[in-house]
Amino acid sequence: MNLECIECGKKHDLSTVANTCSCDGLLEISYDLSEVNFSLKDRTAIPPHVWKYRELLPISGVPVSLMEGGTPLYRCKRLEAECGVKELYVKHEGMNPTGSFKDRGMTVGVSRAAELGIKTVACASTGNTSASMAIYAAKAGMKALVLLPSGYVALGKVAQALMHGATVLAVKGNFDDALLLIQRVCSEKGFYLLNSVNPYRLEGQKTIAFETIDQLATHKNANVPDRVIVPVGNAGNISAIYKGFKEFHELDIINKVPMMTGIQASRSAPIVDAFRRGLAQIEPVAEPQTVATAIRIGNPINAPKALRAIRQSNGAAESVTDQEILKAQKDLARLEGIGVEPASATSLAGLRKLIAQGTIDRDETVVCVTTGHLLKDPEAIMKACRPPIEVDANFDALYSTLSELERS
Ligand SMILES: *Cc1c(COP(=O)(O)O)cnc(C)c1O
Ligand SMILES: [Zn+2]
């Protein structure tokens, strides 16, 4: 195993707790893949979960695990017909222990913290990272410190962080401000930083790619998807999933790497902007806004990895409006029975937009990743749906309300 800077190539000592190189470049873990051998046949016999792939994970001891991963991959025939694409699957990451994909990264990140003998783990979070860190810190007996952007975190996520015992502080600023603060606190106080700048977290998240391949192998007609569409905030997840596909490709398990396609919310879209303009680096958005609070991020720390993933895989990047996001959320819920929080619905909203533009071919097999569960953000639901109608507790009142509804 190696820990290497993606910018200057410098190899770092595996015992380091630093997440970036002296040149400021992001670090990445790599393996000697000639040492790894498992066959597709062996893998499909075992049900999917994160630690099934431990030969390609950077932890050698007993992990801090709560049975994360193993999320369903749904074939979505009704949406497929509606969008006009050949095959559409949804990998529903809302079905993880805390209801988001963050659990995949956090089981590895907290296992790493345990190896290092860490007492306190910390993160800045738009919500889901904090919920996830809190459960693994609880399981490992560590303290958890969380900085949230005040007023912009969905209720379900704050509730989770609080109940699982994290110290939760609401910073009067946005996520980008909170991340700068927590990075300094971690380096000065010796707390272990568990944002997605931490390369161990991304190792866990790459198992989304592994599971997708193994699960598609059990669906008829499907093997490697042409395209994988991912909601993008701090840009760790799309980078991680790309890394997973690349490793399976290098191991000759798959014959191509899917086109990685990142979707951001239109007023929080620095990566889409850099992709369109062919820039080497993003220009941060100072005041990011969107109903999809999980991806309300103006200065994504993993942008260099994400741009590389999108460009090297011949993928795409697109932004979608809040209105398009909320429509996609409702359609996933009502056409397929898949309940997701707003940020997660950007993958479907992006699919629609890219089909309309002709960027996505109607002949493609597409996997949309839905990142978080519907119940994370009950306030968004109550704004999007008509509330229940009150009726008196008798048949006359009930029937008269029902016939009123039929007429309307
Ligand atoms: C964290 C998160 C994202 C964004 O993932 P990044 O790795 O930060 O790009 C998207 N959707 C949900 C629900 C999330 O919790
Ligand atoms: Zn470097």
pLDDT recorded at residue 218: 74
Give the Å distance between the CA of 5 and the centre of ligand 2. 5
Q: Which of 48, 58, 154 is CA-nearest to residue 92?
A: 48
Nearest CA to ligand 1 atom 15: 128
pLDDT recorded at residue 37: 72
CB under 8 Å, gap of 24 or more: what pairs does 215-222 form?
Answer: 215/48, 215/73, 215/91, 216/73, 216/89, 216/367, 217/40, 217/44, 218/44, 219/73, 219/75, 219/89, 221/87, 222/87, 222/89, 222/365
- Give the amino acid at 195: N
Nearest CA to ligand 1 atom 4: 233
Tokens standing for residue 227: 């395209």
Residues contacting ligand 1 via CB (< 6 Å)? 100, 102, 128, 196, 231-237, 294-295, 341, 343-344, 371-372
pTM confidence score: 0.97
Give the Å distance between the CA of 243 and the centre of ligand 2. 19
pLDDT recorded at residue 86: 96
pLDDT recorded at residue 221: 55
Low-confidence ranges of the chain (pLDDT < 50): none
Tokens standing for residue 323: 């209105």
- Nearest ligand to the CA of 5 is 2
Q: What is the pLDDT of residues 200-245, one digit of tens each?
A: 999 999 999 999 999 998 765 558 999 999 999 999 999 999 999 9
Q: What is the pLDDT of residues 58-87, one digit of tens each?
A: 999 999 999 999 999 999 999 999 999 999
pLDDT recorded at residue 222: 58
pLDDT recorded at residue 42: 66
Give the 3-state secondary structure of residue 223: coil
pLDDT recorded at residue 35: 83
Nearest CA to ligand 1 atom 1: 294
39-99+201-382 and 102-199 agree in CATH topology? yes
CATH fold, domain 39-99+201-382, is Rossmann fold (3.40.50)
Q: Distance (Å, rounded) from C-alpha 376 to C-alpha 153?
A: 10
Domain boundaries, the chain: 1-30, 39-99+201-382, 102-199
Tell which CATH classification among 3.40.640.10, 3.40.50.1100, 1.10.10.10, 3.40.50.150 matches the domain 102-199: 3.40.50.1100
The residue to mutate among 92, 104, 123, 128, having the most atoms of ligand 1 within 8 angstroms of its beta carbon, is 128
Q: Which residues pair with 11 in a beta bridge?
A: 4
Give the Å distance between the CA of 389 and the centre of ligand 1. 34
Atom of ligand 1 nearest to the CA of 306: 9
**Residues whose CB is less than 8 angstroms from the CB of residue 43 and which lie 6 or more positions away in sequence, other chains included:** 52, 214
* Residue 123 dihedral angles phi and psi, to the nearest 5°: -160, 155
Q: Distance (Å, rounded) from C-alpha 265 to C-alpha 370?
A: 15
